[in-house]
Amino acid sequence: MSPPVDQSTETTLGPAEWRPRRDAHVARGAALGAARRARAAAGVREPIEDFLFTYYPFRLSALRRWTPGAGVAMAEAEELLADPRFRRGADGLVRVVAPDDVQRGRLAFARDLCVAVAGRPAFLGCFGLHEWAMVYRQAAERRHQGWPLRLGPAGTDEVVRTLPIRCSHYDAFRFFTPPARPLNKQSPDLPGRLANEQPGCVHVTMDLYKWAMKSAPWVPAELAADCFELARDARSVDMRASPYDFSAVGLAPIRIETPEGRGEYEQEQRRLTKKADPLRARLVAALNDALGASAP
């Protein structure tokens, strides 16, 4: 059974506060998905946003759905009750529904993972080689078949053989080709995410979007949108450092096969880590509110 809502720590919003906030988010969410909708209608592919809307299992409409998160009560909000994520209390105020035990388990895992990531230093020596390891010795069957390899199959394989592969992210490692997997310095697995994930990883940064969306409606929708924008930035870096030639869509490569390119990639990792830190802290705080727990 879900614990009772602690109304003593709630924020109460009147219609003059919550309606403009909701409307602004709905407009923002529509704008964030506009380019994706236009490309889909025209049958045009793109390697950044297309990934965010296909790899992560959230519909375009999910970005437009507003919630203030847990710990917020709204007055004169009967119109929100058409959304089953909201309910009206005995006091007449509208709140998001309380999470059940299964949902609380999911929220607790997302919170614990974010806390674990925030508590360790960023590792900046992977150089984005995960994308290279995903095509190693399998150029004919590679992912992203519609895009050419900058260095060709032989040149791509040579980079994988000569640079150290140090990927700590399970969801990236699981797409390595079979001959590339033994080249990685570790073997991250699903149960080991709490122990392995670290803030310098671009995929960990992108995953803030996943955890924020999976934690709806108990985290603010505005935070999820902020995480989407960060994920889009991180995905751009990810693709620029990949072995593919995306010049046709205006992505200048980060040539990690060179010392200068590896230095540029490290600078981008530092920049993304700095941008992710406050969003991760906000997500932890929102999840603690949802769980009714004090910060660990």
Full DSSP string of 166-203: ----HHHHTTS-TTTGGGBSS---GGGHHHH--TT-HH
Question: Above pLDDT 70, what percent of the chain?
Answer: 94
- Give this prediction's pTM: 0.92
Note the pLDDT of residue 138: 86
Note the pLDDT of residue 254: 98
Lowest mean pLDDT among 93-102, 140-149, 246-255: 140-149
Residue 116 inside a domain? The answer is yes
Note the pLDDT of residue 97: 95
Lowest mean pLDDT among 114-128, 132-146, 176-190: 132-146
Residues β-bridged to residue 165: 184
Angle at 6 between CA 5 and CA 8, to 5 degrees: 145
Give me the chain's average pLDDT, please. Answer: 93
3-state secondary structure labels for all residues of 38-49: HHHHHCCCCCCH
What digits encode the pLDDT tens for the residues 207-254? 999 999 999 999 999 999 999 999 999 999 999 999 999 999 999 999
Note the pLDDT of residue 3: 45
Residue 2 inside a domain? The answer is no
Residue 50 inside a domain? The answer is yes
pLDDT at 270 over 50: yes
Residue 70 inside a domain? The answer is yes
Residue 103 inside a domain? The answer is yes
Task: For residue 163, give its domain range.
Answer: 7-291
The number of distinct structural domains making up the chain is: 1
DSSP H or E run through 249: none
Residue 240 inside a domain? The answer is yes
Residue 265 inside a domain? The answer is yes
How many whole angstroms separate alpha carbon 248 and alpha carbon 229?
A: 22
Q: Are 87 and 95 in contact (CB under 8 A)?
A: yes
More confident residue, 295 or 41: 41
Q: Give the pLDDT band of residue 139 (cuts 50, 70, 90).
A: low
Note the pLDDT of residue 9: 73
pLDDT at 143 over 90: no
pLDDT at 15 over 50: yes
How many whole angstroms separate alpha carbon 212 and alpha carbon 279?
A: 10
pLDDT at 189 over 50: yes
* Angle, in degrees to the nearest 10, between helices 221-240 and 259-291: 160
pLDDT at 169 over 90: yes
Note the pLDDT of residue 296: 41
Residue 296 inside a domain? The answer is no
Note the pLDDT of residue 4: 47
